[in-house]
């Protein structure tokens, strides 16, 4: 499907928000992502013609939105992405992803994010706000000082507990275990090494694998 850029804005020194208007309504579930491609071939040394972005928009919106880190030097994909102007088009495939809200409102939630990977949860948090869902919701977010500019993206819901850690403070399982309940779902979003290392530590601490939901950002050593 074709989507047209309506505007983009800079959120901090490296993070930009992009807003696209689709040619027709895109059906997706909060927490899902989609692959974006240009209407022409890019010269990517890895041969990849697409990048995947989590929607920070809500399905009730006419437009779709995502945020991305435009760190230098820009990649073969992000260079033309940085040059887009209002009216330019991209293509988007069918949304995917299983890191979505639980069906039961009695299920406690622990969202754990590293830096810009908070994007994975924004649409879900918006859904909790709009539908007034009763899930006990916790947020643990470790980030650099510059990412404080992204706080405004988080809907104003009542968290059961919220833990904010600013580098060089480090996130450990000791920040998560006290929030855990027997039926909690623990969502992990960040770089692959962050998610896998933390997931292994949580399992070693007694949280079963089936209660941990992984959503890692490939291609990033750090977020």
In the chain, which segments carry CATH 2.40.30.10? 2-92
Q: What is the mean pLDDT of residues 144-159?
A: 95
Which pLDDT score is estimated for 218? 74
In the chain, which segments carry CATH 3.40.50.80? 109-217
Residue pLDDT, tens place only, 48-77: 899 999 999 999 999 999 999 998 899 999
Beta-carbon count within 10 A of 92 CB = 19
* pTM for the whole structure: 0.95
Residue 63 burial by Cβ neighbours in a 10 Å radius (0-12, 13-18, 19+):
middle
Question: What's the first-to-final CA gap in the chain, in angstroms?
Answer: 29
User: Would you call 105 helix, strand, or coil by DSSP?
Assistant: coil
- Distance between CA atoms of 49 and 134, rounded to whole angstroms? 41
Which pLDDT score is estimated for 221? 62
Query: Do 153 and 67 contact (CB within 8 A), yes or no?
Result: yes
Fold of domain 109-217: Rossmann fold (3.40.50)
Q: Which CATH number fits domain 2-92: 3.40.50.300, 3.40.50.12780, 2.40.30.10, 3.30.565.10?
A: 2.40.30.10
Query: Do 111 and 138 contact (CB within 8 A), yes or no?
Result: yes
72: left (phi over 0), alpha (psi -120 to 50) or beta: beta
Residue pLDDT, tens place only, 90-142: 999 999 999 999 999 999 999 999 999 999 999 999 999 999 999 999 999 99
Beta-carbon count within 10 A of 182 CB = 6
CA angle centred on 18, ends 14 and 21, rounded to 5°: 175
């Amino acid at each position: 499907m074709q989507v047209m850029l309506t505007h983009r804005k800079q959120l901090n020194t490296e993070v930009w928000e992009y807003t696209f208007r689709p040619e027709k309504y895109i059906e997706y579930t909060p927490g899902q992502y989609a692959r974006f491609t240009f209407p022409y071939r890019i010269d990517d040394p890895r041969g990849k013609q697409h990048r995947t972005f989590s929607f920070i928009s809500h399905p009730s919106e006419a437009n779709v939105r995502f945020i991305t880190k435009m760190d230098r030097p820009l990649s073969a994909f992000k260079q033309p992405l940085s040059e887009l102007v209002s009216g330019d088009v991209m293509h988007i495939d069918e949304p995917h992803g299983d890191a979505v809200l639980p069906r039961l409102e009695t299920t406690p939630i622990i969202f754990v994010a590293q830096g810009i990977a908070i994007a994975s949860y924004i649409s879900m948090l918006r859904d909790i706000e709009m539908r007034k869902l009763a899930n006990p919701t916790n947020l643990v977010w470790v980030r650099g000082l510059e990412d404080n500019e992204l706080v405004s993206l988080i809907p104003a819901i009542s968290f059961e507990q919220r833990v904010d850690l600013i580098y060089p403070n480090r996130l450990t399982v000791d920040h998560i275990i006290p929030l855990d309940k027997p039926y909690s779902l623990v969502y992990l979003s960040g770089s692959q090494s962050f998610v896998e290392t933390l997931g292994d530590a949580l399992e070693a601490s007694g949280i079963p694998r089936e209660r941990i939901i992984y959503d890692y950002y490939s291609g990033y050593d750090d977020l």
